[in-house]
Structure 1
Amino acid sequence: MSPRDTGSAPAQQPSRTSWRRRVDWRGLALALGLGTAGGVLFFKLHVPLAFMIGSMVFTTAAAMAGLPVSVPKKLRASMVAILGIMLGSSFTPELLGRLGEWQLSLAGLLVYVAVAALVGLAYLRLVARYDPVTSYFAAMPGGFNEMVLMGGAMGGDDRTIALNHSLRILMVVLLVPIAFQHLPGFETQARDWSLNSLGPALGALPPADWLLLAACGVIGAPVAQRLGIPAGLLVGPMLLSAAIHLSGLTAGKPPGLVVASAQVVVGAAIGCRFAGLALGRILRTALVAAGLTLVLLTVTVAVAFLVHTATGLDLAALILAYAPGGLAEMSLVALSLQADPAFVATHHIVRIILVVILAPAAFRLWHRRAQRLKAEARGRDKG
């Protein structure tokens, strides 16, 4: 809703009615139907993060085939809040004693963001031949919405930036869980492949816990957005959920069926980003994004290995913590792979904050320097 739409209560009712009218119910039904089918199939095949990956694959294929799939932003927002509540439940009182162990790995994020951005920028400029502004904001390892908005405002191609970020997230979410199955110590047969692995049964959660967890989403998401916190829809509920779990008010978690449904919606929303785009453009950009993803994952593994060597922290958790996927997506991958979701989520929050704060400032410095060099060159030519 734009600032002009905010105001007195009577003016808000038409906007809610118009939102209902704007929803493409057939597209939503198709997206959720395909997403559910894909999620169930991948779950039966014992694919990690099955409901989100299966939903994402099926809806992406439908979107690229030209089918009218769609997921409203408000529905995705509510599901992201549920995932935030679930991630917050992984912050247990025992975690407080381990926070000191994360100092060096959190500091390593600054090195990771700088190196990943520079290498990604060089790749997009030299290989993909993107213009400087588009290359810069497409190369950033995080901050999807912020990079698209800032890149467009600075004169870049916002659709190319958005498509590169979307494809990178899709590829990272697909590749990382599959690659982890081939790592030593990852035993797929030993895992619980039921909805109980995602959360308790619907009837197992006491009413008081239902109210506490629901309050985390209802209060946390709008407050975080009002404060301008990056990824506020997920971070706000996650922080409130973490607070009530760390305080011992509850040990409850969202039911497994609710978490699976949320994953289906989030996966479908990723796939629907490709609806309405020409297949040729998607495929051309996918080739570029595949190279960028490989470059960023190489930097991820290298920095994670250096931090692992220096700290002794688990290498698998570090790779997930530094991987250039979305906050919600990579935190869910960590949960699916039985890594430390609190560790991974905390690092991704810090990564997003670093990108959102530092990327625009660094771009302005770079842009001013480029303009100054051009002016000096013109002055020499005239002289």
Structure 2
Amino acid sequence: MIFSVSASKPARVLLTLIIGAIGGVLAAWVQIPLPFMIGAMLLATVAALVGFPALLPNSLRSVFSPVIGVMLGSGFSPAIFSALGGWSISLLLLLPFIVLTTLVGTTAMKKISGTDSATSFFASVPGGMVEMVLIGSSLGGDERRLALLHMLRVLLVVLIIPFWFRWTAGYVSAGLAIDWSHWPPTGDLVILILCAVGGLPLGKYARLPAPHIVGPMFLSAGVHLSGLTQSAPPPVIVAIAQVVVGASIGARFAGSPVNMVIKAFRTALWSTPLMMVMALGAAWVISKLIGVPMSTALLAFAPGGLAEMSLIAVYLHADTAYVASHHIIRIILVVLMAPLGYRLYSAWRK
């Protein structure tokens, strides 16, 4: 190994970003879906698993997360007001979906993998990765196994969905053929920057879920709904943000024992598709009830992260406002209800 764990943190962070950027460019060159995030994620994951001490602190991801929030906010338009009534049915179905997915996943994980109740339960909650690891470990779950299962879930979902739509719907990545020189007018750019800078403290003050994304998204949605601007962040900045998000997923595997990763991967290989099948069923029901395109509903109910699923929604030209709103509500629900849900589940099992 060229670099050891004793290498300076700045060097490790810089090399992790370089690895992610190389992965993103290579993925874009061969036209892999959502190339800058998926390419960065895959190459950083491989590097971490073969021994490179990858490092990408949450503080750095937090710097670029507002870019994603502002981009998501740019997907809000006045037309959203006429759609809100239909969304209520979809949002109401989130809670039963979470409960059913968690119970089915918990039962299957205990029987198939022999995992303890607490770890099985909190690993089966479809969302809130960081929160479920913290809450689950405090209630007796295996913290490292929980973290691995959730990381692998996000990784697999990010891989499955774009390729699924490429094979079934013919979505093709623009690759490197993006107008990298495009920048919004100066006035619009200033507004977008203010949304990113001001949204972060707003999100923290209001105690919003994922404040680094949701705060800027709310401000950006406000200025776009009001007509102050219709511009989105420059493509080059969005691509950099995707590289950071992708590399941060891969960097989380650094230092994980290979045998533990393999064991968790075996579980994730069947548990993640199980969650996806249930999300697909929910998406089918939603599409029949309120007419939302099934691809959009699937992204809203898919067991991936807010940032990751919203970026995929942008790539697929889906309704980002619908997708992001559902993931935000789901994070709130799982954080508020998972601890109580586990206590009720434990009492029921007795």
TM-score between both structures, scaled by the size of structure 1: 0.86
1:285 is aligned to: 264
Superposed CA offset, 1:316-344 (max 9, x none): 11111110000100011111112221111
Within the alignment, does 1:47 sit opposite 2:26 as a pair?
no
Q: CA deviation at 1:348?
A: 1.2
Contact 1:86–1:253 at 8 Å: present in 2 too?
yes
Query: SS at 1:338's partner residue?
Result: coil
347-356 vs 239-248, which deviates more?
A: 347-356
RMSD (CA atoms): 1.8
1:102 — aligned with what? 87
Assess, with a 3 A threshold, how the Cα gap between structure 1 residues 138 and 311 changes in structure 2: closer, same or farther. same
How big is the shift at 1:280? Answer: 1.2
Which among 138, 141, 160 is matched to residue 156 of structure 1?
141
Cα-to-partner distance string for 1:50-101 (whole Å, 9 max, x where unaligned): 1000000000000000012111211101111111111111101222222222
Partners in 2 of 1:219 and 1:360 — Cα distance? Answer: 32
Residue deviations 1:122-164 (CA, integer Å, cap 9, x gap):
1211111111111111110001111111111112111111111
Structure whose CA Rg is larger: 1
Distance 1:137 1:85 in 2: 31
What residue number does 1:167 align with? 152
Alignment partner, residue 218 of structure 1 = 197
* Counterparts in 2 of 1:321 and 1:125: CA distance versus 1, 3 Å: same
Residues 1:23 and 1:262: Cα distance change in structure 2 (over 3 Å)? farther
Cα shift at 1:192: 8.1
Query: Residue by residue, what CA displacement relative to the aligned partner does 1:19-65 show, whole Å, maximum 9, x if unpaired?
Result: xxx97111112111111111011111112211000000000000000
TM superposition shift of 1:193: 5.9
Alignment correspondent of 2:3: none
Worse overlay, 340-349 or 265-274: 340-349
Pairing 1:1-383 to 2, within 5 Å after superposition:
24-184=9-169, 186-188=170-172, 194-196=177-179, 201=181, 204-368=183-347, 373=350
Distance, in Å, in 2 between the alignment partners of 1:145 and 1:165 is 9
1:195 counterpart SS class: coil
Secondary structure in 2 aligned to 1:46?
coil
Deviation, structure 1 residue 359: 1.0
**Which whole-Å CA distance do the structure 2 matches of 1:156 and 1:339 have between them?**
36
Give the deviation of 1:368 after TM superposition: 4.6
Return 95-104 or 359-368, whichever deviates more: 359-368
Q: 8 Å contact 1:48–1:337 — kept in the other structure?
A: no
Structure 2 residues not aligned, in runs of 5+: 1-6
Q: Secondary structure at the match of 1:343?
A: helix
1:243–1:23 CA distance, 2 compared to 1 (3 A): farther
Structure 1 stretch 268-277 or stretch 68-77: which is displaced more? Answer: 68-77
Q: Report the secondary structure of 1:182's partner residue.
A: helix
- Tell me the amino acid that sits aligned with residue 195 of structure 1: I
- Residue type at the aligned position of 1:158: E
Give the Cα–Cα distance (whole angstroms) in 2 for the partners of residues 214 and 74 of structure 1.
18
- Whether contact under 8 Å (2:35, 2:175) holds in the other structure is no
CA distance in 2, matches of 1:244, 1:78: 21
User: In structure 2, do the counterparts of structure 1 residues 23 and 119 end up closer, same or farther at CA, with 3 Å as the change threshold?
Assistant: farther
Residues 185-227 of structure 1 deviation map (CA, whole Å, 9 limit, x = unaligned): x3428x686334xxx745x322322222122222212221233
Question: Identity over aligned residues, as a percent?
Answer: 41
Deviates more, 1:259-268 or 1:148-157: 148-157
- Partner Cα separation in structure 2 for residue 205 and residue 313 of structure 1: 31
Aligned residues: 344
Matched residue type, 1:288? T
Amino acid at match of 1:39: G
Q: What is the CA distance between 1:107 and its match in structure 2?
A: 1.5
